[in-house]
């Protein structure tokens, strides 16, 4: 879908994450401001690319995802399993 100009390989999620983290690391004393500016810039891009209605729908889906606990930083309790006896 997306290609890099340098070597025509696909951009991975990890590549994007690493680049974004480098930006955050560049301004360690203002991390909250950097994240806020980044979020607003990305939000502006979504509105330009998809329009207001689709951007709002995306935000509604994001809110639902947060409520469902998919982005929580709290550790989840591991599921306890019982040993099954061999028959």
pLDDT above 50 for 1: no
pLDDT digits (tens, 9 = 90+) for 64-74: 999 998 888 77
Task: Check residue 87 and give its pLDDT.
Answer: 58
Q: Which domain holds residue 20?
A: 13-63
User: What are the beta bridge partners of residue 10?
Assistant: 3
Is the pTM of the predicted complex or chain greater than 0.75? no
Chain position carrying tokens 């330009």: 48
Task: Check residue 4 and give its pLDDT.
Answer: 47
Number of domains in the chain: 1
| C-alpha–C-alpha distance, residues 81 and 37, integer Å | 45
pLDDT digits (tens, 9 = 90+) for 13-60: 999 999 999 999 999 999 999 999 999 999 999 999 999 999 999 999
Is 81 contained in some domain?
Answer: no
Is 17 contained in some domain?
Answer: yes
């Amino acid at each position: 879908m997306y290609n890099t100009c340098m070597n025509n390989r696909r951009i991975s999620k990890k590549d994007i994450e690493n680049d974004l983290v480098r930006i955050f690391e560049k301004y360690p004393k203002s991390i909250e401001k950097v994240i806020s500016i980044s979020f607003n810039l990305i939000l502006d891009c979504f509105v330009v690319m998809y329009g207001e209605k689709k951007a709002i729908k995306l935000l509604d889906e994001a809110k639902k995802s947060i409520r469902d606990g998919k982005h929580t930083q709290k550790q989840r309790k591991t599921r306890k399993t019982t040993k099954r006896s061999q028959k």
